[in-house]
Chain A
Amino acid sequence: MGTRYIWFIAPAVIVTVAIIIFPWMFTIYMSLHDWQVTGARTFIGLDNYVSAFADRRFIAAIWRTGLYAVFSVTLPVILGTAAATVFHHEFPLRGLLRGIFIMPMMATPVAVALVWAMMFHPQLGVLNYLLKSVGLPPSLWVYSPNTVLPALAMVETWQWTPLVMLIVLGGLATLPVEPYESARIDGAQPWQTFVYITLPLVMPVILVAVVLRTIDALKAFDLIFTITQGGPGTASETLNIYLYLKAFSFYQIGQASAIVVIFFVMIVALSLGALALRERTRWT
């Protein structure tokens, strides 16, 4: 079976390699060099990697990225799964409402991020007005180091819950009928049916969503860059933002390249971890 389909796959692989091989080689090469934009380039071995791990800001960025990813994976996955079970029902105007629900995921991130930035304004923003009008105390949202990560994760959740919803909806659509019939005969409550039958059955699909979300959350850039650029201070400086700073503000290309390599290894490791988890649930 194997080789018959090679010519279906080969063109896509060749083109992909052609596009990304030079950047990869360049990045690895640069990560071993000290390159000043105004001139000399010297080979320095693994020094860039050593100094990256000695860099407090880099280490802090790793933890921050992890925290941000935890928020922006769990919230969309929980809400997206809930939304999928809701949209799995039939009700009037379902198509239109489902369309509106998935709009955030389709909208241009830079555009919506700028609108969110205006809504977050601590004195003039509409969000604090809404909080006040329902009797809640105002928040500083992205304007305080203490609340900036959850606030950004909230936008990320707003934007990417629809994707999880679509994936889980797909899972729900292919569920077998039999377990539900026996549950009905046994007189199970709807929530019992959901917890004991639906959830385990769609778990592999949910884990697909987890893998995709993990990759995207670790790499999140547009939103954070547009709203806070990593601030206040360094409170929302994730790895990708720090990378941007190193490469495009400080022009420390060697350092930045080392960070890319470390970052990439982390993303692959975490994704493989999530995939392995998925394989396990599949067989149990």
Chain B
Amino acid sequence: MATHETAPSTKSRRRLFAQAAALVGMTGGLAACGGETAPAAAPTTAPAAAPTAAAAATKPAAAPTTAPAAAAGGGFDWKKYKGESLSVLLVTSPRADVLTKNQKEFEELTGIKVEADVVPEQQQRQKTVIEFTSGNPSFDITQISLHVQKSLVGKGKWMLDLNPLLKDASMTTPDLAFDDFGKPSVSYSTQSDGRMDTMPNNLDFWILYYNKEIFEKKGLKPPQTHDELVAAAKAIHDPKGGMYGFAARGLKNANVPVWTGLLHGWGADTLDPKDMSLKTTTDEAIAAATLYKELLSKYSPEGVAGFNWNECQTAFMQGTVGLWYDGIGFATPLEDATKSKVVGKVGYILTPKGPKAQHAAMFGDGIGITNASKKKGPAWLYLQWATNKANQARLLSSGGGSPARQSAYTSPDATKNLTVPKEWFDTLVASTKVGRPGLPEIIPVTEFRDIFGVALTNMISGADPKAELTKATEEFKPVLEKSIKG
């Protein structure tokens, strides 16, 4: 990275280094907080974090028009690439909404013109692979689903390692405060060879949604364990009366996180990262699949084998489903009276505890710069802006995700502007402490999801969990081995 095109002059580098050093020292205390799985809010650290976080968070947001927010950063020159333009590829999501809605702020701050292209997830994944393979992608910046694209992008070395830039004080505003990013999200963004080719942006945890009205009517308590989950689903389920106990994805591929999320309850995963061996036919894996089968075949709406999140959500919004297990980002529409009939009746709780452990399945995305980009400097400015404290706070208050920055959780702006119930926020914070990656970090994730997804869907129509998992494992094993060798 030494020959980086946008390497700035040594003069400005030296000048800024001092300021950066000062800031690192100031925020250094923050880095210590957050254990293995406690990245985010960690209320205990709030007092320490509050002053810097709150101050910085409000600054860019409050003063976008008086652009020299640069002044706030102690003279960092945001305008050095004035007149350039950037092409940004984003995935349709609340994250992209935050960035596109506030894009003007960046354009005024830097004088760089942004052309953002927002496409659905599936198209973005396709587009990136096709464009990267062609060697000359049409975009400078793209969002990356870490749980799906990380290993592929890492193997292809398609994205720029951001570590050198982070260390380069002439390129990086002191406001960035990298220590603010929770450890799990940083390690999620970091490849096995130590390159960090995306800025951590968002983590997505799976939670349990339940309908409080139904629970009250039946005299039920929100389930804390797998057993209580099954019992509650069973008590509510009355298909003849148009009432269903449970809903979760049955559609192949989309359904795999449901199974891996339940599997976490045994403290287990589908892959041993040490020797890359599949753990998909263990007793735990079979038990989790059996639980999946029971919930979806006995207590879910008819046709759940074809349900993705949207069908589940639509059913839950009708008030005809007691429990729904899915990603945390669905609160906003559930609490919107023009779309939902369960406004104010939704309970948000942590993924129930299994026989051995309690975790929240974790997914995430980052945002990075393509290696082939000729505008790495401006692109790095965009990344710094996109993941700054203000934008991360906005993401949180929109109810659309869980920001990678810890300061977002203590930002008064974020909590004040919160558009969804406090209960949701608390569940999010609790989830950050027990997050565990929901999918294995391998290149053929899509094949993994497809093959095991088919097995799970087959179980809903009655197939035996053990037999299906064995068959799927046999089918997937050569694919995995080939990807490791190749």
Contacts and interface: CB of A to CB of B under 8 A. Distances in A.
User: Do any CB atoms of chain A lie under 8 A from CB atoms of chain B in the complex?
Assistant: yes
Interface of A: 36-40, 121-124, 140-145, 148, 228-234, 245, 248-251
Contacts of B311: 121
B129 A231 contact: no
B156 interface: yes
Interface in B470-486: 486
Contacts of B318: 123-124
A143 B307 CA distance: 7
A250 B305 contact: no
15 contacts: A37-B133, A123-B301, A124-B318, A141-B303, A143-B304, A143-B305, A148-B306, A231-B252, A231-B305, A232-B251, A232-B305, A232-B457, A232-B461, A234-B252, A234-B454
Contacts of A39: 155-156, 486
A123 B446 contact: no
Interface in B66-120: none
B152 interface: yes
Given A123-B315, A232-B457, A249-B450, A38 B155 contact: yes
Contacts of A145: 305, 457, 461
A256 to B, nearest CB: 13
Contacts of B156: 37-39
B457 A124 contact: no
B322 interface: no
Given A143-B305, A144-B305, A250-B446, A233 B457 contact: yes
Interface string B151-170: 01001100000000000000
Nearest to B155: A38
B306 A143 contact: yes
Interface string B314-345: 11001010000000000000000000000000
Contact of A143 (B133, B302, B314, B447): B302
B450 A245 contact: yes
- Of B302, B303, B314, B447, the most chain A CB neighbours within 10 A belong to B303
Interface of B: 126, 129, 132-133, 152, 155-156, 242, 250-252, 301-307, 311, 314-315, 318, 320, 443-444, 446-447, 450, 454, 457-458, 460-461, 486
A69 B126 CA distance: 28
Given A37-B152, A123-B301, A144-B306, A250 B252 contact: no
Nearest to A251: B129
B486 A122 contact: no
Contacts of B447: 250
B105 to A, nearest CB: 35
B215 to A, nearest CB: 20
A231 B450 CA distance: 11
The 9 tightest CB contacts between A and B, nearest first, are A143-B303, A122-B303, A143-B306, A232-B305, A233-B457, A38-B156, A232-B306, A140-B303, A38-B155
Given A37-B156, A121-B314, A145-B461, A231 B302 contact: no
A231 B486 contact: no
A124 B314 contact: yes
A120 to B, nearest CB: 9
Contact of A249 (B242, B250, B446, B461): B446
Given A38-B156, A144-B303, A144-B305, A124 B250 contact: no
Contacts of B155: 38-39
Nearest to B471: A56
A139 to B, nearest CB: 9
Nearest to B132: A37
Contact of A122 (B301, B446, B461): B301
A40 to B, nearest CB: 7
A251 B450 CA distance: 13
B306 A248 contact: no
Contacts of A228: 306
A162 to B, nearest CB: 28
Nearest to B244: A123
B485 to A, nearest CB: 10
Contacts of B305: 143-145, 231-233
Contact of B252 (A40, A140, A232): A232
